[in-house]
Amino acid sequence: MTKTREAIVLDKQRMDPVLYRDAMSRYAGHVQLVTTALGNERRGVTITAACSVSDNPATILICLNNNNAKNEIFFKSGIFALNALGAHHQALADAFSGKTNLTTDERFATGKFDTLVTGAPVLADALAAFDCRVIEIKRASTHNIIFGEVVAVHFDETKPALLYMNRDYHTL
């Protein structure tokens, strides 16, 4: 078998993380903001690793890096909101991605946030927001998979979605 750009065969047991990330960069993902709160502390992270698990009961999952100490609040709070971002949210996505040196309060000031049922911050103009109670957390290597039962939803008007592919933003 010849090694081509489309099919690279490695002579190792484990996939090279850089090669894997390069391949995954071609995978388009909806840009989302996941948020939580515990007491007076809030946290938000821009992610693409989230999806629907079931509609009965309504369940979603998110994946968060467990090596970032600031993400510990997600593992302790018992709640989160998943906010689907639109094309008009690119600056907000950057603010919560760590590309900027904004404080938590400055990050949250880049959007208007409300709460629904759980108390997790919900982006008022998200394309869709899912307010969740954590029902299970599974450790998977460098990340934790957090399953949430959706207890409330919020929709905004239909607008172009913000996607991330080839290490850049795109709209759909």
Fold of 28-171: Pnp Oxidase; Chain A (2.30.110)
The pLDDT, as a whole number, for residue 17 is 87
Is 42 within 8 Å of 108 (Cβ atoms)?
A: yes
Q: What is d(CA 21, CA 105) in angstroms, rounded to the nearest whole number? A: 31
Q: Pick from 166, 129, 132: which is nearest to 147 by CA?
A: 132
Specify the amino acid at residue 51: C
Every domain of the chain and the residues it spans: 28-171
Q: pLDDT tens digits, residue range 32-91?
A: 999 999 999 999 999 999 999 999 999 999 999 998 999 999 999 999 999 999 999 999
The pLDDT, as a whole number, for residue 27 is 84
CB atoms within 10 A of CB 103: 9
DSSP character at residue 157: -
pTM tops 0.85: yes
- The pLDDT-based confidence of 164 (bands split at 50, 70, 90) is very high
- 3-state SS assignment for residue 99: coil
